[in-house]
């Protein structure tokens, strides 16, 4: 720059011309390269291309000794549409040092970047490490889910994208790969069919009840599904008046439970009494009218029988969620009403009695006072 400032106006013209020529040549070179190479490839590091020489070939696979097929083809488009589009293959496959690979590459360790407490860039998943899954992984259990089992390997998406393997609609399928019995029950349940078949987004999926990373065993007191905590999970929606009205769900179930024998004992910390899922089940929750439902009249003796050894049909009679304030409860309504009237009239009589008594005392006190002044 300094040179340019000092050169005379005479010599500056050829300098400008040569700059223009250089720019032209550079531009031409760039455009020629652009024509020769697809745009995407231009933006990718050369190593990426090297890996894809072999792994980019459709049908590239290896037959393992046990006869299973190991797919070695990598779908480039999948990676390019993922949140990690800018990463190199070896950012994840850090152990691939040479080609051909002298050692079979191991499993990918996502914590390399998403490490605990990472302040910027790759968000951490701190709570995962305290979960039943994280603890299992720490012990080196091969069955434990690692980040990629839930989020995917080459197709990782932002978690709020509908394409994500952990989106509200997809996460049940993802968990279900390892928890088949729960998944099979859930997809038949009122909640599963509401979400997956009828697209009612306010219906729960696995992570609504279990949490996203901090998934714990049912017998851990910090777990969302610990017997004393289940009521909080169900209340989130079943106490929501708007939701109840919108989907025509029978309401008042939380308050009536709290007033029931079980509910009161639950409040006092009993984990043996029935909570919502003891009677409704956790995953195969169905309306009363469904013959498969645990609360269908035909199955109720069995449901109560889990804890009440001699429960028979008679034992289960009378509704469980009793709202004495609803006329539809027939005799119970009138009994409730009778006791309510009895209580109110007793209290009223008592009140009148106290008033009269006070009045009497006041009067006699007043005469006493008069007497005093008169003395």
148 binds ligand HEC (CB under 6 A): yes
Candidates 32-40, 156-164, 336-344, 347-355: pick the segment binding ligand HEC (CB under 6 A). 156-164
Q: Which residues lie closer than 8 Å to 277 by C-beta, 6 or more apart?
A: 225, 230, 234, 285
299 binds ligand HEC (CB under 6 A): no
Task: For the CB of residue 35, give the shortest distance to ligand HEC in the complex, in Å.
Answer: 24
Q: Compare residues 22 and 57 and give the one whose CB is closer to ligand HEC.
A: 57
Site for ligand HEC in 204-233 (CB under 6 A): 204-210, 212-213, 215, 217-218, 225, 230-231, 233
Q: Compare residues 6 and 248 and give the one whose CB is closer to ligand HEC.
A: 248
Using CB under 6 A, which of 287, 330, 365, 369 touches ligand HEC? 287
Taking the C-alpha atoms of residue 115 and residue 222, their distance in angstroms, rounded to an integer, is 24
Using CB under 6 A, which of 81, 158, 292, 361 touches ligand HEC? 158
285 binds ligand HEC (CB under 6 A): yes
Using CB under 6 A, which of 135, 170, 179, 299 touches ligand HEC? 179
Using CB under 6 A, which of 247, 324, 332, 336 touches ligand HEC? 247
283 binds ligand HEC (CB under 6 A): yes
284 binds ligand HEC (CB under 6 A): no
Binding-residue total with ligand HEC (CB under 6 A) = 128
171 binds ligand HEC (CB under 6 A): yes
Q: Compare residues 9 and 100 and give the one whose CB is closer to ligand HEC.
A: 100
Using CB under 6 A, which of 20, 264, 298, 307 touches ligand HEC? 307
Task: For the CB of residue 42, give the shortest distance to ligand HEC in the complex, in Å.
Answer: 16
Q: Compare residues 9 and 46 and give the one whose CB is closer to ligand HEC.
A: 46
Q: Compare residues 98 and 375 and give the one whose CB is closer to ligand HEC.
A: 98
Taking the C-alpha atoms of residue 182 and residue 223, their distance in angstroms, rounded to an integer, is 17
């Amino acid at each position: 720059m300094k040179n340019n400032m000092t050169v005379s106006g005479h010599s500056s013209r050829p300098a400008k011309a040569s700059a223009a020529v250089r720019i032209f040549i550079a531009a031409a070179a760039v455009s020629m390269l652009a024509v020769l190479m697809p745009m995407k490839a231009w933006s990718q590091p050369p190593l990426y291309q090297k890996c894809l020489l072999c792994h980019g070939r459709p049908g590239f696979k290896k037959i393992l000794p046990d006869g299973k097929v190991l797919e070695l083809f990598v779908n480039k488009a999948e990676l390019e549409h993922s949140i990690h589009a800018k990463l190199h293959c070896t950012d994840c496959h850090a152990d691939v040092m040479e080609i051909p690979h002298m050692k079979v590459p191991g499993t990918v360790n996502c914590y390399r970047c998403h490490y605990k407490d990472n302040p910027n860039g790759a968000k951490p998943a701190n709570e995962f490490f305290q979960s039943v899954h994280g603890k299992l992984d720490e012990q080196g259990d091969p069955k434990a889910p690692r980040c990629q089992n839930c989020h995917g390997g080459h197709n990782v998406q932002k978690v709020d994208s509908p394409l994500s393997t952990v989106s509200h609609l997809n996460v049940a399928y993802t968990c279900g790969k390892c928890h088949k019995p729960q998944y099979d029950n859930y997809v038949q349940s009122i909640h599963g069919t509401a979400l997956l078949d009828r697209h009612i987004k306010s219906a729960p999926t696995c992570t609504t009840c279990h949490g996203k990373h901090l998934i714990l065993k049912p017998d851990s007191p910090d777990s969302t599904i610990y017997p004393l905590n289940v009521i909080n999970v169900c209340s989130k929606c079943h106490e929501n008046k708007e939701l109840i009205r919108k989907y025509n769900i029978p309401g008042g179930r939380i308050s009536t439970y709290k007033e029931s024998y079980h509910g009161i004992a639950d409040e006092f910390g009993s984990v043996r009494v029935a909570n919502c899922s003891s009677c409704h089940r956790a995953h195969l929750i169905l309306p009363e009218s469904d013959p498969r439902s645990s609360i269908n009249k035909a199955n109720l003796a069995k449901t109560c029988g889990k804890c009440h050894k001699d429960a028979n049909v008679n034992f289960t009679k009378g509704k469980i969620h009793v709202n004495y304030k609803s006329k539809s409860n027939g005799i119970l309504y009138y009994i409730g009403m009778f006791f309510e009237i009895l209580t109110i009239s007793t209290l009223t009589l008592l009140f009148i009695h106290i008033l009269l008594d006070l009045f009497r005392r006041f009067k006699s006190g007043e005469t006493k006072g008069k007497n005093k002044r008169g003395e």
